[in-house]
Structure 1
Amino acid sequence: MTSSALTRPGERDRLSSKITELDWRLIGLLCIVAGIGTAMLYSIAGGHWQPWAIKHLIRFAALLVAMVGLALVHPKWWFRTAYPLYGVLLILVLMIEFTPLGYEPAGAGAKNWLNLGFTRIQPAEFMKLGLVLALARWYHSHTAQEARWSWKLIFPAGMIGVPFLLIAKQPDLGSAMVLGLTGAAVMVVAGLSWRIIAAGIAAAVAVIPPFVMFVMHDYQRNRVLTFLNPEADPSGTGYNIIQSKIALGSGGLLGKGYGLGSQSQLEFLPERHTDFIFSTVSEEFGFLGSFFTLACYVGIILIALRIASLAHSHFGRIAAAGMTAFFALFVLINGAMVMGLAPVVGVPMPLLSYGGSSMMTVMIGFGLVLSTRVHRYAELPKGGYGLI
């Protein structure tokens, strides 16, 4: 029997064979969402490519090529770089707090950017990737019982807790919340005991009121109180949510028409190119446009979870599921935020909102997901660097 006969699909080394193993449905849906984002950025700029639409499109095109390239990388390289990458990203987060390189963009309300001279980055965005990879590697090398309940769970809890606290202190509660929930999702996927999950949920519910009243900054506390009653200050702290709801509701079934959204075109809608871009979609394309956009997101999430379930290596399953989790959290939190179902925390709608760091994080994450699909039959040894 020839060696090719013994080779299962996804294990062939030829570039053409790997490319055929890519999930083109997933790639197509990512392109559709990014295309909708480009169209909306063009619309809210008054029918101009500048200042947002053309940059959004060029970034996506470049990152799409990078994503396909990362999809061809064998999972063993993702495995090897998991801990070093986590360590480097944690150092970058620490540099924001303890070096003069960290800075606060005008009006951001948080010192969460790092000026490296040749470039500026937001380490909290990339920390989500590093956390997922590090947790996937840790769980790959431990038993199901240890993942369910063991004193060793202090290590993954620490991996989540340290960057969570550092990012929350910046204070960037949106990124910290996504990071913490992503880490929790990975622990659940890995098999954490349901008793621990229930106890964690109960503890979180008990901690939230004192945290809001005594730990949050005043402007953060106002966001929470505004979420509960935005009409109490309609021209102040409640303005964003109220305008977003108006944009969502005024679109009706079919919308006002492309480029005809009054809330966005007349600039009543705040941050219409970033946090509240989904409200613009609803205003101009109505319920059907919103439904189609959300259906694309659901399709992306379901396909990615299916890819995770087919991976033969434990590392691949957990890493792909973790990457899907943080993408889903972006969609859920932003969607709830613009609908007035959650406080405004500055979480973008992935690939729809304008922003380089967020898009890069998402595309690198899906590069890993597609790598899991291409190399789904790959086996990785338990622990160590002894990889072939």
Structure 2
Amino acid sequence: MRRGSAAALGFVPEPLAQLPWKIILLILAIGCFDLLVLYSAAGANFHKWALPQGIRFFAFLAAAMALSRVREDFWGMISLPAYVLLCLALVGVEVLGKVAGGSQRWLDLGIIRLQPSELMKPFIVLAVARFYDLLPLSETRKFVAIWPALVLIGVPAGLVMLQPDLGTALMITAGGIVVMFLAGIPLRLFLGGGLFAAIAAPLAFNFILHDYQRNRILIFLDPESDPLGTGYHISQSKIAIGSGGIWGKGFLNGTQSHLDYLPEGHTDFALATMMEEWGLVGGVLLIMAWFGVVWWAMNVAIRAQGRFARLTAAGLATTLFFYVAINMAMVMGLAPVVGVPLPLISYGGSSQMTVLLCVGILMSIDRHNRQQSRW
């Protein structure tokens, strides 16, 4: 039954009938599957990770559905003020932040530990999109269209690098750069920027990155050079994925995570935990599910009427894609370990909140698109 006919017959209230239920059900399926993964990773203990993760997931999903009712222009109005507040929060992390796992990334607010760098991932997209929305189209191919956007991207990325958190800094940078590209910045400038990055990379490797970050890159290039030290994570991850085979070992039958061979099997390496038990089939189905979410998000961008909405939706779609692609490449040894979680699968409230915030904003833009189409 179509949304409109359901509402007309009175079975479903109009606000609920207008929601994109196919995507909501797809996200719900991913989130519920995550609870099975965390239940198994905890050794059949539901209260350790699955219960708090489930409570947060359903709360944030309900919040995302509520955000779908927000007017599209509201996001443009708050984009720059929210960006400034998050930059101040990142400064606050440096001054008052809580240290965990060797990094200083969280603000302890009592009832919740907030990670401002995670929230910056969608809001850098909104801020850069807002900048280009305010910029006259005739100015897009001039230098004035470049340096303010680079400052908007560089300030939070630099603050995040101080924590240190290379993975999040790269995602913030990538999200902003994608919006710049989609806004119409000439391709030659991106080629020039790529050349500059290639020249600067050796200097950054030697003088900016921390020792553990350099080691991660070296281990990525030669995984067998330190299999019991820096390369232990990725070696055990490959073993877990490979031992799962096509169909997996079966639910609750994983050994790498249950015997504690796989470090961070419930957070950054949750994909390895899942694929050991659910095999290649489970991994492919998860990839297809996230492909469906990103495909929907790109279609929201294509249907969007205004410049800000188009740039925001496309930027948020690529942010979701980067989440999935970077984590999967990292866990399978195709990219250095940079600490990017797998959305809605890795344990943690900050990434959950960020991903479902992106979905809520996209549903808000989608709702506006459908209203404009009816008019």
Give the shorter-chain TM-score range. over 0.9
Match of 1:259 in 2: 252
| CA 1:336–1:78: 2 relative to 1, 3 Å | same
Distance in 1 (CA, whole Å) between partners of 2:140 and 2:180 is 8
Match of 1:29 in 2: 26
User: 1:344-365 CA deviation, whole Å, 9 max, x = no partner?
Assistant: 1111000010000000011111
Deviation, structure 1 residue 145? 4.1
Q: Is the 8 A contact 1:40 1:281 kept in 2?
A: yes
Match of 2:179 in 1: 186
User: 1:160-190 CA deviation, whole Å, 9 max, x = no partner?
Assistant: 0111111112211111011111111111122
Question: Following superposition of structure 1 onto structure 2, how do residues 1-388 of structure 1 map, counting pairs within 5 Å?
Answer: 16-97=13-94, 99=95, 101-105=96-100, 108-117=101-110, 119-376=112-369
Deviation, structure 1 residue 221? 0.9
Distance in 1 (CA, whole Å) between partners of 2:235 and 2:197 is 28
Q: Is the 8 A contact 1:22 1:373 kept in 2?
A: no
Amino acid at match of 1:215: I
Amino acid at match of 1:141: L
Deviation, structure 1 residue 228? 1.1
Percent of aligned positions that are identical: 42
Amino acid at match of 1:201: G
User: 1:30-57 CA deviation, whole Å, 9 max, x = no partner?
Assistant: 1111112111000111112121011111
Q: Is the 8 A contact 1:244 1:269 kept in 2?
A: yes
Q: Is the 8 A contact 2:300 2:362 kept in 1?
A: yes
Distance in 2 (CA, whole Å) between partners of 1:21 and 1:150 is 42
Q: Is the 8 A contact 1:104 1:113 kept in 2?
A: yes
> How large is the RMSD of aligned CA atoms in angstroms?
1.7
Deviation, structure 1 residue 197? 1.5
The runs of 5 or more residues in structure 2 that have no matched partner are 1-11
Deviation, structure 1 residue 267? 1.3
Q: Is the 8 A contact 2:298 2:317 kept in 1?
A: yes
Distance in 1 (CA, whole Å) between partners of 2:219 and 2:140 is 39
The runs of 5 or more residues in structure 1 that have no matched partner are 1-14, 380-388
Distance in 1 (CA, whole Å) between partners of 2:341 and 2:212 is 19
User: 1:114-151 CA deviation, whole Å, 9 max, x = no partner?
Assistant: 23445421110111222111112111122334334432
Deviation, structure 1 residue 214? 2.1
Distance in 1 (CA, whole Å) between partners of 2:138 and 2:215 is 43
Amino acid at match of 1:85: A
User: 1:238-268 CA deviation, whole Å, 9 max, x = no partner?
Assistant: 1100000011111111111111111111111
Amino acid at match of 2:80: Y
Deviation, structure 1 residue 19? 3.1
Query: SS in structure 1 opposite 2:257?
Result: helix
Q: Is the 8 A contact 1:21 1:373 kept in 2?
A: no
Amino acid at match of 1:32: A
Distance in 2 (CA, whole Å) between partners of 1:235 and 1:32 is 36
Distance in 2 (CA, whole Å) between partners of 1:90 and 1:378 is 34
Q: Is the 8 A contact 1:274 1:355 kept in 2?
A: yes
Amino acid at match of 1:122: Q
TM-score after normalising by structure 2: 0.93
Bigger helix fraction: 2
Query: SS in structure 2 opposite 1:263?
Result: coil
Q: Is the 8 A contact 1:241 1:338 kept in 2?
A: yes
Q: Is the 8 A contact 1:149 1:193 kept in 2?
A: no
Distance in 2 (CA, whole Å) between partners of 1:146 and 1:43 is 55
Q: Is the 8 A contact 1:146 1:153 kept in 2?
A: no
TM-score after normalising by structure 1: 0.90
